Amino acid sequence: MKKIILSGFIGTILLLSACNKFLDVKPTDFVAPVNYYTNEKDVSAAVAGIYDVLGKTSAYGRYLFFEMDISDEGFFGLSSNTQDIALYNYDIGDTKLLNTWTILYEGINRANMLLENIDKADMSDGAREVYRGEALFLRAYYYFVLTSNWGKIPLRLESTKSPSEVDMVPSTYADIYQRIVMDMEAAAEKVADVTTYTNAGRISKSAVWGVLARVNLKMAGAPLRDVARYAEAKEWAKKVIAYGYHRLNPDYSQVFKNYAQKVYDTRESIWEVEFSYQSGNQYEEGMVGSINGIGTSNTTVGYSYGAMRVMRPYYDSFVTGDERRDWNINDYTYAAAPSTERVPYTGSTATIYYNRYASKFRREFEVTPVKSTNTTVVNFPLVRYADVLLMYAEADNMLPGARSAEADEYINLVRRRAFGKLKVGATDIQEADLSSSLDELEFQEAIQKERSWELAFEGLRRFDLTRWNNYILTMKNLLSYKASANANYQYGFRTAENISERDTLYAIPRDEMIVNKLMKQNAGW
């Protein structure tokens, strides 16, 4: 097993060779790019280096689903922290923002280097095009994450080779999204079918189609408001559905147990960030379930900081019978180690609203030789079939004319699963269905609620609220609950108190402003 690192100006190219899975790696040495990319093994390692960015702490190892996704669902549960990006109380020198910005651009630079050199390799054209497609998609995806969080950013399409290339003006939204869509559409033609792989860590056609639906929904909303994109979003979601392979797992909770148990259900979970135990080191581990699980010091079930607490209005929003509530929000804690006993909450719900945790990712189901304190091997979902169904329904509803029957059916499929209606022996299957008489506005409101119930704590809520142009208002509305909250949890409203109109985007990191003399700071900073 080895990892080869190619040095570059902005960042290093992290090249990983495959062992039991695509990203099982360990660093060893350095090689100049001019001497690399000679065969398929080199190219495979280079592509793995582009994927590697996904699992970094500053990406989906932690920040993108935790600090950078604080919303009306949960609050930053580290009471001693008063200055943090999660609280919208930070300055442009914040290291978390810088690290996320830097690692995403490093991934882009790695992709650029691969795309510039892939034709040098001695390998089959078929394999070459699959790898090219993965690199194109990942570069576009990293740009999508960057522009969703920072707005207008430099569009770097060639690897950086000298200091003179660092200065670059930020591109327009139109140019950024045009490139994202172009590269993703090209990738969709090149990458493999989802059935090619036994895991969900590799990019497949289904994954690209699903992300293209998400990208087009974003383009239809704020800030572009290109409503013609709703038709595109619907068509890309339709491709996933029409493929005929994907379906919902009948049990909502099992979806997330699978992430902890390394069970790959690619019919439901289309694309995931993979984490793994690495012979005693934590290099490929993330913080899924340790930073945002059921808070406990019990190392037998798995230590968790429980740093994502749940907001009362989110708990109250669920209706009786929705199984997602007591999975997304814990209704028990754990006894002391070495016991694995679950201890149900006691007392009135009103007294423990803010003491509840975001419990979607539970370490008690984690399968690993050693459960470390800070990190886990629990995988993280990037595209689920339920999300695709909801994106189709939303896009269809926003198009001119009457809503299709499919839009109603797809949101109802998600709801039926939520109420246990897809399980063997279930009766009254349509009991969970929405009324077919909902008008466009009522249906959109239903979609917005459904996405929160279904996709909570998966790094999508802030993204959704921002594209719907109601993130700031939604956060400010939380303040009406502060007076009734227990005194011990008043700190949970810091984000809502601090947030302002500028916070639909993050500040451009200070280091970028210093190095790139043509960069422009976002409004309000």
- Give 427's contacts (C-beta < 8 A, 6+ positions apart): none
Residue 271, helix vs strand vs coil: strand
Following DSSP, what letter does each residue of 318-338 receive, concatenated? Answer: SPTT-TTHHHHB-SEEEPSTT
- Round to whole Å and give the CA distance between 54 and 80: 29
Check residue 35 and give its pLDDT: 72
Q: Backbone phi, then psi, for 278, in 5-degree steps?
A: -120, 75
pLDDT digits 0-9 by tens, 182-206? 999 999 999 999 999 999 999 999 9
Contact 130, 191 (CB under 8 A): yes
Average pLDDT over residues 367-388: 95
Which amino acid belongs to residue 449? K
| Average pLDDT of the residues in 42-62 | 97
User: Any bridge partners for residue 344, and if so which?
Assistant: 332
Q: What confidence tens digit (pLDDT) does each residue in 429-441 have?
A: 999 999 999 999 9
The answer to whether 364 and 376 have CB atoms below 8 angstroms apart is no
Write the CA distances from 232 to 162, 378, 455, 508, integer angstroms: 39, 33, 22, 30
In a domain, 458, yes or no: no
In the numeric block, the tokens 């830097």 are attached to 102
Quick check: is 144 in a domain?
yes
Give the mean model confidence (pLDDT) for residues 485-511. 97
The Cα–Cα gap between 438 and 514 comes to 52
Using the predicted structure, report yes or no on whether residue 396 has a pLDDT greater than 50: yes
22, pLDDT greater than 90: no
Average pLDDT over residues 231-236: 99
Instruction: Judge whether 413 lies within some domain.
Output: no
Q: Is the pLDDT of residue 19 over 60?
A: no
Q: Which residues of 52-70 are buried (b: 16+ CB within 10 A; e: fewer)?
A: bbbbbbbbbbbbbbbbbbb
Q: What is the mean pLDDT of residues 379-397?
A: 99
Answer whether residue 24 shows pLDDT above 80: no
* Chain position carrying tokens 């690199």: 135
- Is 90 domain-assigned? yes
Residue type, 494: R
Dihedral sign (CA 378, 383, 385, 386): positive
What is the pLDDT confidence band of residue 479, given thresholds at 50, 70 and 90? very high
The CATH number covering residue 125 comes to: 1.25.40.390
| Residue 46 tokens, joined | 């280079």
In a domain, 129, yes or no: yes
Answer yes or no: is pLDDT of 25 > 50: no
Q: What is the pLDDT of residues 118-141, one digit of tens each?
A: 999 999 999 999 999 999 999 999
d(CA 125, CA 455) in angstroms, rounded, equals: 39
- In the predicted model, what is the mean pLDDT of the chain? 93
pLDDT of residue 282: 47
Give the whole-angstrom CA distance, residue 312 versus residue 34. 57
The pair phi, psi for residue 470, each rounded to 5°, is -135, 25
Residue 132 lies in a domain: yes
Instruction: Assign 3-state DSSP to the chain and report helix, strand, coil percentages, each to 5.
Output: 50, 10, 45
155 is a domain residue: yes
Residue 228 exposed, middle or buried by CB count within 10 Å (0-12, 13-18, 19+): exposed
| pLDDT band at residue 162 using 50, 70 and 90 as cut-offs | confident
What strand order describes the sheet that includes 13-16? 13-16, 3-6, 27-30
Tens digits of residue pLDDT in 54-80: 999 999 999 999 999 999 999 999 999
> Is the pLDDT at 28 greater than 60, yes or no?
no
- Residue 120, class by beta-carbon neighbours within 10 Å (0-12 exposed, 13-18 middle, 19+ buried)? middle
User: Is residue 184 included in any domain, yes or no?
Assistant: yes
Give CA–CA dist 296/298, Å, rounded: 5
First to last CA, the chain: 46
Q: Which two tokens stand for residue 346?
A: 């006691």
Q: How many domains does the chain have?
A: 1
- Return the structure tokens found at 193: 């079918």
DSSP string of 52-114, one letter each residue = HGGGSTTTTTTTTTTGGG--SSEEE--TT--SBGGGTB--TT-HHHHHHHHHHHHHHHHHHHH
Query: At how many degrees (to 10) do helices 229-242 and 385-398 cross?
Result: 140
Q: pLDDT value at position 348?
A: 65
Q: Where are the alpha helices (DSSP H) in 201-319?
A: 205-220, 229-242, 252-261, 312-317
Q: What is the mean pLDDT of residues 146-172?
A: 95
Backbone angle region of 5, left / alpha / beta, with phi > 0 → left and psi within -120 to 50 → alpha: beta
**152: containing domain:** 3-191+504-515
In percent, the amount of the chain with pLDDT more than 90 equals 87
Which helix (H) or strand (E) segment holds residue 416: the answer is helix 405-418
Is the pLDDT score of 33 beyond 90? no
Rounded to an integer, the average pLDDT of 289-294 is: 97
- Tokens, residue 343: 């201890």
Range with the poorest average pLDDT among 263-267, 274-278, 468-472, 501-505: 274-278
* CA–CA gap between residue 259 and residue 216 (Å, rounded): 27
